[in-house]
Amino acid sequence: MTRIDESIPFIPLHIAVLTISDTRDETSDTSGALLASMIEQAGHQLAAKAIVLDDEKEIRKQVKKWIKDPEIDAVITTGGTGFAKRDVTPEAVKPLFEKDIDGFATVFHMVSFATIGTSTVQSRACGGVANGTFIFCLPGSPGACKDGWNGILKLQLDNRHRPCSFIEVMPRLKGMPGTKSKP
């Protein structure tokens, strides 16, 4: 069904990771550290990493900073996608999207269902594009980060993935107002 075409040279992306949590710091941020490790193991570059509180303004401020940076191709957030009062990541990030990637949430739930069953309904994982930058919001657990990375992002952020990948769309994103040019 899907495959990696090894005859095509790999294009590494610059990916930023944002952990959203009221309780994590650099020493206890297992999900952010896991994402950073998986990104680098896949051959991409960790462009930036930060932790912010579950605060809509702080989340939006950090993501805006990264989508304005021409060196950052993608942003992956972890945390704040549930439906508790403090879970505000989708509210902070979705207004920045120029285009939603609706299929990301659908496929995330399919992958997650295989791992945690119906508990996947408690996530509001989402994806979109802003200023030519891909943005993906994952739940805060290491398991959800593994599901999102291994089940979707590792493949879709690899230009060699067939039949297609997000990378093929990147040059056309510059046609959207305010977007940057990429590979």
Give residue-wise pLDDT tens across range 80-119: 999 999 999 999 999 999 999 999 999 999 999 999 999 9
Q: CA-to-CA distance for 16 and 32, rounded, in angstroms?
A: 10
pLDDT above 90 covers a percentage of the chain that reads 89
Asked whether residue 180 carries a pLDDT value surpassing 70, the answer given is no
Write down the pLDDT at residue 2: 76
Q: How confident is the model at residue 44 (pLDDT cuts 50, 70, 90)?
A: very high
**pLDDT by residue (tens digit) across 70-86?**
999 999 999 999 999 99
In the chain, the domains with their CATH numbers are 13-173 (3.40.980.10)
Residue environment code for 49-79, b if the CB has 16+ CB neighbours within 10 A, otherwise e: bbbbbbebebbbebbeebbebeebbbbbbbb
Write down the pLDDT at residue 179: 52
* Displacement of CA 72 from its chain's centroid (Å): 12
Q: CA-to-CA distance for 104 and 32, rounded, in angstroms?
A: 19
Q: Which token pair is 16?
A: 């930023």
Q: CA-to-CA distance for 145 and 77, rounded, in angstroms?
A: 9
Asked whether residue 181 carries a pLDDT value surpassing 60, the answer given is no
- What mean pLDDT is predicted for residues 134-162? 97
Q: State the pTM of this model.
A: 0.94
